[in-house]
Amino acid sequence: MTVFPFIVVAWILLVGLYGMVTSRHLVHQIICLIVVQSSTYVLLLGVGYVTGAVAPYYFDVPNHTPAVDPVVQALALTDVVVEAAVTALLLSFAIQAHKRFGTLDPHELAELKG
């Protein structure tokens, strides 16, 4: 099963994209974008995993115990922070769109623009 986590990554990515394409509500669409981004967490943590290794914390295990890759874990942390920032900004755009056009349906918003 050495490829299973990577298939999960592709699956999460696709499910999120499908949601974004078929979405009828901006907030739903933003949440689908979060789902797309979640696939990168699984990918990062999956890439750095070492079978039988501990978490990269030597507080209560002896030094030089084999541990999983700390670099990708740090990258996943960065990923989460950026996701939170992007989500907050997108949600505030959704608030303004609703104020301006009275709808959050992407199809209706596209029509209003023309």
Partner 1 sequence: MTEVQRRWMFLAGAAGLVAFVLWGLLGLPGFGNYPGPYGPSILRIAVAQTNATGVVSAVNFAYRGFDTVGEEFILFTAAAGVSTVLRHLRHERERSAVDEAADRDVPPTSSAVRMTALVFAGPVMVAGWWLASHAQTNPSGGFQGGVVLATAFILVYLAGEFLVFKRFSPVDLTEVVEAVGAGGFAAVGVAAVAMSLPYLTDYLGLGSIPGAVSSSGTIALISFFVGLEVAAAFILIVGEMLEQTLLIRQEDSE
Do residues 68 and 49 lie in contact, with contact meaning Cβ atoms separated by under 8 Å?
Answer: yes
Which residues lie across from 67 on neighbouring strands?
Answer: 54
Residue 4 binds partner 1 (CB under 8 A)? yes
Do residues 104 and 94 lie in contact, with contact meaning Cβ atoms separated by under 8 Å?
Answer: yes
Residue 91 binds partner 1 (CB under 8 A)? yes
- Answer for which of 86, 101, 105, 109 binds partner 1 (CB under 8 A) is 86
Query: Which residues are near partner 1 by CB under 8 A?
Result: 1-7, 9-10, 13-14, 17-18, 21-22, 43, 46-52, 55-59, 63-64, 67-74, 77-78, 80-82, 84-86, 88-89, 91-93, 95-96, 99
